[in-house]
A = this chain, B = another copy of it.
Amino acid sequence: MAPPLEDHRMEDEAEEEEQRPLLTRALHRSATNNTSQVAMVGSNPCPIESLDYEIIENDLFDQNWRTRSKVDQVRYVVLKWTFCFAIGVLTGIVGFVINLAVENVSGFKHDAVSALMESTSYWTAFWLFAGSNLVFLLFASSITAFVSPAAGGSGIPEVKAYLNGVDAPNIFSMRTLAVKIAGNIAAVSSSLHVGKAGPMVHTGACIAAIFGQGGSRKYSLTCRWLRYFKNDRDRRDLVTIGAGAGVAAAFRAPVGGVLFALESLSSWWRSALIWRSFFTTAVVAVVLRLFIELCGTGRCGMFGKGGLIMYDVSTIFDDLMTYHLKDIPIVILVGVTGALLGGLYNFLMMKVLRVYNMINERGGAYKLMLAATVSILTSCCVFGLPWLAPCRPCPTNGSPADGICHALNRFRRFQCPPGHYNDLASLFLNINDDAIRNLYSTGTSDVYHPGSMITFFVASYGLGVLSYGVVAPSGLFVPIILTGATYGRLVAMLLGSHSGLDHGLVAILGSASFLGGTIRMTVSVCVIILELTNNLLLLPLVMLVVLISKTVADSFNSSIYDLILQLKGLPHLDGHAEPYMRQLTVGDVVAGPLRSFNGVEKVGNIVHILRTTGHHAFPVVDEPPFSPAPVLYGLVLRAHLLVLLKKREFLAAPERYPKEYVAAGRFLAEDFDKRGSGKQDTIADVQLSSEEMEMYVDLHPLTNTSPYTVVETMSLAKALVLFREVGLRHLLVVPKACDRSPVAGILTRHDFMPEHILGLHPVLLGSRWKRLRWQKGAVAKYFRSLLMWINNSG
């Protein structure tokens, strides 16, 4: 299907294009890849770039520290473990601080409102409530919008994209970290229906990435040892570990954290990494335990023993946690409900996000206006709906619910007389963690009125969909857990005596099914629920419910994170090939024009090509007199070329560097280390005189002599497997026959994207090889072009 390649050495072609530099080689392909290099990161469009997990092997430097001297190896290993420990400690501290702040700020607010309600100052209570919520959310939104847009949203899609090999500036900067923490505290305290788990994942990843930046040259906070981490592979490992630590801190689930990172976030994994990640999450668990013990005597204000999410249902009511074979139908019912509601949730969320994005694109003021609207709506719901609920007398029969009703923080009187409680207010006017704890409590079947549960379910579902898109650090997990628990209880209430299961237990299953139906995680959901509830016996039920909800929901749409990834235009590369990729060869999709360099190249040509193209790597071809026939020498990176140009180690004639040149340390390996995220040289930084432009450089010492290659007749599906499994950024395509240039093109991540492939071969669109995915891709493409248009015009 590929059009025949034109021979780049054809004389007449060279004559036609006079302006083209003599030594440059350009292979014209029929197609060019015009995939967008811009994606939504956080709440703003940003340029994105691929990461390079390949080990660059060239004469000059070797990124693999394990092959260095014994001392280097030991330093590297010690440093890696130290980083793991430090990431664990810091993530644990941050997790604690966020919880402490939320519990205190939010608790103070709720108590003040409750006190005002008790003195029947209802309007004052509302104005205080709505006003403080608005202030908190506007604070969160403004710092996100104006200080660090990359901190918006949950951050999990960005982390997932990074671990898949897509980098964007600022997603892991110091500023993003600070805004994420402060903004999340404010957003959660503002009673907005968002969680803190997603932002914790981003925070953990951020902390890890800052360690991996190798210090800061700007603030002279660097050291030679940190060099070991100045490459994408080690940074990827650290970010994986950090993300797992974030989950562990959010749920106090060390095993669940590792599995979450493994199952949902990471695209590459090694056995050693599991262990490091597990070590880090255990450190997190220990740190959190330490702080909770410190706070045990009430020294932390409102932050009590249950400050972190943890619903220990095993020890108190163990006899209520029983189930039998006859309970299977209710489990299936909960699972299917979760799938239907989850699929719909994802669908609605996408619609809402699309509208929100269009509003947010218009500028900072619009962002704040949207946030204010959502905040006021939320305040009205949260404060208004409990009025619908009837007052219920506190049970006095000594049942478990009895104690809970009289407990200070868990149940709310709202407008009710003393000795009564308002069940809706107990759910609405509490922080989400306490609301979940209320719903999970066993032996409380008679505490909630079905009408209240329906109201709360509708409000929680609706607010969940409406709140996430607000420009502020906001998580998805906790609202989903809460909504799921609500309909779990509803199902249990509807079945009434037909089910022998405790309502609290069904609430847990409801949460699991809704997580399965929206986020589509499986193992990690089970293990997180297991660790949250500290009850191994629940496992089979939770598994069954998640299995059902995920399987059913998968027939509607993708997981919420994948949908957000697509909406954001982040080019996530799946591990499995799409069926139509088997019908194509590599030659069918490789895009042009290809620019390559000679082994010894004129400086002017390099500068020209770097200026006129955006490519990040160029094949190096040795031609006579350096080799008898044109032969592929390797691949040279743009970043390395820029370093070379800045060094100005030029040669007057086209010849190779003398051996002493390299040996004498004129090039330091350090100079070629990958710099931190978003810190790159550009060709605009290079200013050369016209004399220098006429000189030559020897590219051989810089060239990666072992690039991975595929023959152009290789099936695209198998090339994708290679690209993805080995973690490449550039894959060289070599021609099958020898009668042409030794290299036919370069494949990058974008060449494997469905939009590009199906754009080149629209005939596949109607074929049976196509999957549902393409429609989604089209939407994403549309959105992306919209984004570009807005960008360019505003």
Q: Which residues of A contact B (CB under 8 A)?
A: 54-55, 57, 62, 64, 66-67, 69, 254-255, 258-259, 262-263, 269-271, 274-275, 278-279, 282, 285-286, 289, 315, 318, 522-523, 526-527, 530-531, 534, 536, 539-540, 543, 547, 575-576, 579, 582, 585, 627-629, 631-632, 705-706, 708-711, 713-715, 717-718, 721-722, 725-726, 734, 736-739, 742, 768-769
Contact = CB atoms under 8 A, between A and B. Distances in A.
Contacts of A706: 585, 713-715, 718
Nearest to A583: B67
A531 B539 CA distance: 12
B575 A67 contact: no
Nearest to A254: B539
Contacts of A289: 540
A714 B722 CA distance: 15
A543 B282 contact: yes
Contacts of A263: 271, 274-275
Given A62-B582, A582-B67, A713-B706, A726 B736 contact: no
25 contacts: A54-B718, A55-B718, A57-B718, A67-B579, A262-B274, A270-B575, A271-B575, A274-B522, A282-B543, A285-B539, A315-B318, A531-B536, A629-B739, A632-B736, A705-B715, A706-B713, A708-B710, A708-B714, A708-B718, A709-B710, A709-B714, A711-B734, A722-B722, A738-B738, A738-B742
Nearest to A579: B67
A769 B67 contact: yes
Contacts of A725: 725-726
Contacts of A270: 575
Contacts of A726: 721-722, 725-726
A258 B708 contact: no
Contacts of A271: 262-263, 575
A586 to B, nearest CB: 9
A605 to B, nearest CB: 24
Contacts of A269: 269
Contacts of A718: 54-55, 57, 706, 708
Tally of this chain's copies: 2
Given A536-B534, A539-B282, A629-B739, A522 B708 contact: no
A652 to B, nearest CB: 30
Among A275, A629, A725, chain B packs the most CB atoms within 10 A around the CB of: A275
A708 B720 CA distance: 12
The 3 closest A-B pairs by CB, nearest first: A738-B738, A725-B725, A67-B579
A540 B274 contact: no
B737 A722 contact: no
A352 B734 CA distance: 53
Contacts of A708: 710, 714, 718, 722
B711 A279 contact: no
Nearest to A318: B315
B540 A737 contact: no
Given A279-B543, A718-B57, A725-B726, A579 B709 contact: no
Contacts of A540: 282, 285-286, 289
B543 A278 contact: yes
B737 A629 contact: yes
Contacts of A575: 270-271
A278 B526 contact: yes
A614 to B, nearest CB: 26
Contacts of A274: 259, 262-263, 522-523
A629 B738 contact: yes
Nearest to A543: B282
A737 B530 CA distance: 59
A582 B540 CA distance: 48
A790 B147 CA distance: 75
A661 to B, nearest CB: 22
